[in-house]
Amino acid sequence: MSDSKKNSGLLSDYRILDLTDYKGVYCGKVLADLGADVIKVEKPGGDSTRNIGPFYRDVPHLERSLYWWAYNTSKRGITLDIETADGKDIFRRLVKAADVVVESYPPGYMDKLKLGYAALSKIKPDIVMASVSAFGEAGPYKDWKADELVGWAMAGQAYVTGDDDRPPCQISFPHGYLVTGSHAASATLAALYYRELSGEGQHIDVSMQESVLWTTLQLVQFWDMMNLNLFRAGSRRSMGTALFRLAFPCKDGHVGFLIAGGQLASISMPPLIEWMAEEGMLGAFEDKKDWGPKDWTEKVDAMALTQETVDAWEDSLIKFFANKTKAEIYEKAREKGMIIYPVSTTKDLAENAQLKDRNFYVKVEHPELGETITYAGSPYKMTVAPWRISRRAPLIGEHNREIYEGELGLSKDEMRQLKEARVI
Amino acid sequence: MAKKRIFEGLKIADFTWLGVGPIAMKFMANMGATVIHIESSTRPDICRVSPPYKDWKPGINRSAFFAVYNDSKYGITLNLRMPQAQVVAKKLIREWADVVADAHLPGIMEKFGLDKETLRKDKPELIHIATALQGKTGPYSTMPGHGMVGVSLGGITQVTGWPDREPTVPFGALTDFLTFPHMITALIAALLHRRKTGEGQYIELSQLECSVQFLAPPIMDYMINGRILGRMGNRSTYAVPHGVYRCKGEGEKWCAIAVYSDEEWRHFCSAIGNPRWTKEPRFATFMGRKENEEELETLVEEWTANYTPSEVMNKLQTAHVTAGVVASGEDLVADPQLNYRGTHIIQEHPEIGPHIYHPPPYRFSKTPHELTMPAPCLGQHNEYVLKEILGLSDDEVADLLIAGALE
């Protein structure tokens, strides 16, 4: 490994074999953008994630999936059929030079191929293996199938999402498995840290159901502590209280705000009411115009507010916001220090001034298109050896020669035979 | 043999509050780190004063909202507005901590004399990790906020709900939960680097930037194709039927079903007993089912209405069809898979009594998680931390107490 490569990132000492489909794809991206040498191992013909849209210039094509692009940055890519005897043999050779294997096959699949943790740790005793699955590697549901919708449902999120007069609802760009991948990444690093201390590798079992459960706001605890099943109520929500609105319509969309009581109200309500008074639109807040932060902390207990009061307050706010745009409200919120935010569209996010100021979006070369594409940037700013996208996502089998010939020393003839046998 | 812990001996001074920081540092504690959580009764964590409260009775030590994010930590109170408290905080960082975590708005740690330059000046091996809703720099960074509006700023609210209705707000502080795994990742990456080089660093996270990762493809879709993502209810481009259907029983009884391929469609038809309508030519192909999706959904619901959500799930999963109950909080507590996996761990809290905590959503084969103790009551470990860990004398602690530095 050249010196420049060694210094290219925090994790450049590590090689990771990434056998995941969309269920674990984010794990490898996180590690690759931090400098790890992540090799995506796809089945010949390409991984199914390549079929997920949207697509570049709306042309469905295995090399044009924006989903594939977004979540496979900085990885190299090879094709390999690990179900064939030759493929297994090659995979075992790759494992010998790797630090981590991450996979998202159904539980037991890798074991059946004799490529599970037990088998791989015989070849490479300190290997770290991370397995991402819907429900975990063991248990009554281990063989059950879950897509994003079913995961969202079985982890409790669907129950609390959606309008009350329609079925429970998911996010239209669901992210359950991506979140699972983010957990797999941190768990993998923890296991590598332990390996540095002890010399020992180990197996990590990551569950999507549990990962999504960690995105709920304590549905389990509301039942455990208060015998209360939290429920869905559109853009409003209750925590054993009156229903509070979290999104208010305005002139060109919605803004996010929560009246609440206590500390939260003490921050936003006095300046908001001052603003309403300036425009002569106090409405139901007429008697609160002289209230300071302390009054809101001490006199308003969100748990005790009646629905009638909350509705009256919210109606006044809806009237007040009706002739104002998201941007106008957001600017005023910044000026006055109120916790009011735009309900952003994907366009708003692409144009977001804060993200621009922090140089969040980054340009990535796509030599195969002769173009530069804009990508979401780093989730963290680190002062030492920063995050970066070192290359766009791999094309199908793009690094077969580099890895099979260059590193494993296969001959051109062997390469041809393996290709004809559809092993690579 | 002694238990193996990944972060045995690692010391974290946790100045965070709300969601992201506390959960991230709790996970570190579950993986073996020693974490001291620093709070103040003059500005209690909003999670401490929000439900769920044990038996609906509010109290500063009675909310699981705080407890579940702070188990396995020592808890102390320092009123960092007071110089005497700042001296203690600095001593803790200089003499004890490997890692400092903070989740304050820009300027607050500086006001306490705990800014990153000061902290790392005498201690270059220190790792300082900070998180804020929009990061610590930039024109909007000083705005107060929390994840319940972060989810709107971050674009998720806009794409949740039905195309003909106003957006639905996802229930919780979702952006907190999308961010904290990144905080753990960045911290461990920095720890690996420190182990190799002896060098610490400053790390900064923005909740917005972390949650935008989860909308990256549709943002690129806007930039490249000009399309703004809308709301699709439960519809999917790849599966039909793909929705949530009412089942038998009182109240909110629902099951989610997703049928992706022709093969799964055949499995689905046979699982529901091949009623005559399943043979109609208009449902024979994926395109046909898509075209007649609304009617198909009505027919599916006619079948699901005869069974409880669990019955629907069991019948379909047995036939290799993707299906799952829409679980309520009560259902989650009873969920056989979660219980098999040990997702719900009871700890005996001094004021709440026994209640449910959770480990991180992954299991290590050699280094099992440990939830070593319930969340601290406010200031519960002041004595222990000040005397045993920092070596202060009884008199020094008394002085701090009298000065109000331990509020």
pLDDT tens per residue, range B193-213: 999 999 999 999 999 999 999
Q: Minimal Cα distance from A67: which residue of B?
A: B217
pLDDT of B321 reads 97
pLDDT of A7 reads 46
Note down the domain range covering A384: 3-214+359-420
In-domain check, residue B148: yes
Question: Residues of A with CB below 8 A from B152's CB?
Answer: 246-247, 254-256, 341-344
Number of domains in chain B: 2
Q: Specify whether the CB–CB gap between B231 and A166 falls below 8 A.
A: no
Asked if A203 and B151 come within 8 Å (Cβ–Cβ), the reply is no
**Has residue A5 got a pLDDT over 80?**
no
Domain boundary among A290, A319, A344: A344
What are the CA-CA distances from residue A29 to residues A17, A102, B78, B204, B288 (Å)?
12, 12, 40, 19, 37
Best of A100, A154, A166 to disrupt the B interface by mutation (most B CBs within 10 Å)?
A154
Note down the domain range covering B296: 242-328
Asked if B152 and A166 come within 8 Å (Cβ–Cβ), the reply is no
Task: Compute the average pLDDT of residues A163-175.
Answer: 97
In-domain check, residue A129: yes
Best of B192, B208, B326 to disrupt the A interface by mutation (most A CBs within 10 Å)?
B326
In-domain check, residue A52: yes
Can you list the residues of chain B whose pLDDT is less than 70?
1-2
Distance CA B18, CA B24 (A): 11
Do A14 and A137 fall within a single domain?
Answer: yes
| Contacting B residues, span 61-80, partner chain A, CB-CB under 8 Å | 64-65, 68
CATH number assigned to the domain comprising residue A322: 3.30.1540
Q: A416 to chain B nearest CA, in Å?
A: 34
User: Nearest CB to B203: which of A142, A234, A380?
Assistant: A380
Question: Residues of A with CB below 8 A from B169's CB?
Answer: 234-237, 246-247, 256
What are the CA-CA distances from residue B276 to residues B239, B241, B272, B280, B281 (Å)?
22, 17, 11, 7, 11
Task: Compute the average pLDDT of residues A110-137.
Answer: 98
Any idea which of A217-221, A238-242, B226-230 has the lowest mean pLDDT? Answer: A238-242
In-domain check, residue A68: yes
Domain boundary among A301, A317, A344: A344
Task: Compute the average pLDDT of residues A182-193.
Answer: 98
In-domain check, residue B236: no
In-domain check, residue A46: yes
Residue A359 pLDDT level (bands cut at 50, 70, 90): very high
Q: To the nearest whole percent, how much of chain A has pLDDT over 70?
A: 98
Do B283 and B202 fall within a single domain?
Answer: no
Do A254 and A202 fall within a single domain?
Answer: no
Q: Which residues of B are catalytic?
A: 176
Domain boundary among B328, B356, B371: B328
Task: Compute the average pLDDT of residues A311-318.
Answer: 97
CATH number assigned to the domain comprising residue B294: 3.30.1540.10
Q: A384 to chain B nearest CA, in Å?
A: 6
Do A180 and A325 fall within a single domain?
Answer: no
Question: Residues of A with CB below 8 A from B141's CB?
Answer: 354
A118 part of contact set with chain B, CB < 8 Å: no
Asked if A69 and B220 come within 8 Å (Cβ–Cβ), the reply is yes
In-domain check, residue A223: no
**Has residue A1 got a pLDDT over 50?**
no
Residue A61 pLDDT level (bands cut at 50, 70, 90): very high
Q: Which amino acid is it at B305? A: A
> Chains A and B: how many Cβ contacts under 8 Å?
524
DSSP per-residue letters across B301-352? HHHHTTS-HHHHHHHHHHTT-EEEE---HHHHHH-HHHHHHT--EEEEETTT
Do A304 and A161 fall within a single domain?
Answer: no
Retrieve residue B121's tokens. Answer: 């000046």
Distance CA A292, CA A134 (A): 50
Q: Which of A159, A129, A152, A128 is nearest to A211 (CA)?
A: A152
**Has residue A10 got a pLDDT over 90?**
no
Residue A264 pLDDT level (bands cut at 50, 70, 90): confident
pLDDT of B21 reads 98
Task: Compute the average pLDDT of residues A171-177.
Answer: 97
Length reported for chain B: 407
Q: Which long-range contacts (CB under 8 A, 24 or more apart) does B258-265 make?
A: B258/A147, B258/A149, B258/A150, B258/B321, B258/B322, B258/B323, B259/B321, B259/B322, B260/A147, B260/B322, B262/B286, B264/B320, B264/B321, B264/B322, B265/B289
pLDDT of A6 reads 43
Do A265 and A406 fall within a single domain?
Answer: no
Number of domains in chain A: 2
What are the CA-CA distances from residue A305 to residues A241, A269, A312 (Å)?
7, 15, 11
Q: Is A219 helix (H, G, I), strand (E, B) or coil?
A: helix
Query: Residue B396: is it exposed, middle or buried by C-beta count within 10 angstroms (0-12/13-18/19+)?
Result: middle
What sign does the CA torsion over A88, A89, A94, A95 have? positive
Do B296 and B353 fall within a single domain?
Answer: no
Element (H, E) at A32: helix A25-33
Do A325 and A396 fall within a single domain?
Answer: no
Asked if A348 and B155 come within 8 Å (Cβ–Cβ), the reply is yes
Retrieve residue A29's tokens. Answer: 């991206």
